[in-house]
Amino acid sequence: MSDLLNYTTEEVVAEYDRLRDDCGLIDLPNVAQLTLTGDDRKGWLQGQVTNNLRSLDLGASSSFCFCEATGHLVSVCEVWSLQDRFLLTLPKETLPRVLERVEQMVILEDVAAADSSEEYRLLSIQGPRATAELSQFVSLPSLDAGEGTVEGAKVYCLRSNRTGLGGWDVWVPAGEKKALKKLTQAFQPISQQVYDIARLEAGIPLFGVDMNHRTLPPEMGPAFVAKHISYNKGCYMGQEVLMRMHSRGHTNRTWMALYADEPLEAGAAVSHSRREDAGTVTSAAFSPDYGHIGAAMLRNEAAQDRETVRVTTKSGEVEAEVRLMPILRLD
């Protein structure tokens, strides 16, 4: 434990262990909720996003990207299907552009979008025991999405894996103080520091940190592509570019994991024996399980599993091993 305490505290380790072994409450202030209604919402969304939503039936969920015609990211979203609406979560900074897309591209379809973030508070219960513990307070759906009741308040319960070991997003009406108090007192909070470690281990990128509006979705790596992109669906904005990249077989750069024996730093330059300007570290953390870890957007010469790169930190040059995301492997 003495070596570990050089980089983190006992409190952080305890929180991390609780998240990995039990569950905890994570605050996600930068996540927005978008409500999509109208009889044509499924067909319209199918024609706009990167994933195939034909099986997005009642209670189901999916993940996808909105893209520009150039293939660059507009937003990364999750969607859950309820009786009369779709609920989407997305980074707050991308919400205006997604609402603009709806305004521009809904012509004759019966589709309406509304920012419902201020009407609800998001309580994200994450960890392997999230389902068992949350079930003591609300009847959870057998599928991925449904409504429940807490202290007389109707809440949305959405299955959501935000740290790698499963969990739920519970959207509680902002005015329902009893329900909010009941749930916030029932689950111990997980700090932003521990959440950042866990989401990095799980290979979950943050918009504005690991990706931005200049990112092409396939650059985020095979695990991201498998979750967010279908190459067997009909047309959508940006499809031509993404299909061309797919048929070519690779991107020019890829978001990869880094392992090191010394601290890494976000923003640090990465070099490789075949390319000096090999990339940039986007996220870095110290994991109680994996040690010094990071994520970097790397050029092809360096973006290979088990390659060795050099990271120039403020404290000097650090050698790191490149690995495919995610760091957390359950097999």
Q: Is residue 6 predicted with pLDDT exceeding 90?
A: no
Q: Is residue 1 predicted with pLDDT exceeding 90?
A: no
Alpha helical stretches, state H, the chain? 10-21, 41-46, 95-105, 130-134, 177-186, 192-201, 222-228, 239-248
| Average pLDDT over every residue of 65-74 | 98
Whole-number Å distance between alpha carbons of 53 and 232: 11
Among 61, 87, 50, 81, which Cα is nearest to 237's? 50
Whole-number Å distance between alpha carbons of 287 and 13: 9
Confidence of residue 8 (pLDDT cuts 50, 70, 90): low
Confidence of residue 331 (pLDDT cuts 50, 70, 90): low
Whether this model's pTM surpasses 0.75:
yes
Confidence of residue 52 (pLDDT cuts 50, 70, 90): very high
Whole-number Å distance between alpha carbons of 245 and 192: 35
Boundaries of every domain in the chain: 10-192, 201-229+250-323
pLDDT for the residue numbered 268: 98
What superfamily would CATH give domain 10-192? Answer: Probable tRNA modification gtpase trme; domain 1 (3.30.1360.120)
The 10 Å Cβ neighbour count of residue 200 is 28
104-163 pLDDT, tens digit each? 999 999 999 999 999 999 999 999 999 999 999 999 999 999 999 999 999 999 999 999
Whole-number Å distance between alpha carbons of 48 and 191: 35
What superfamily would CATH give domain 201-229+250-323? Answer: Aminomethyltransferase beta-barrel domains (2.40.30.110)
Q: Is residue 266 predicted with pLDDT exceeding 70?
A: yes
Is residue 102 within 8 A of residue 115, CB to CB? The reply is no
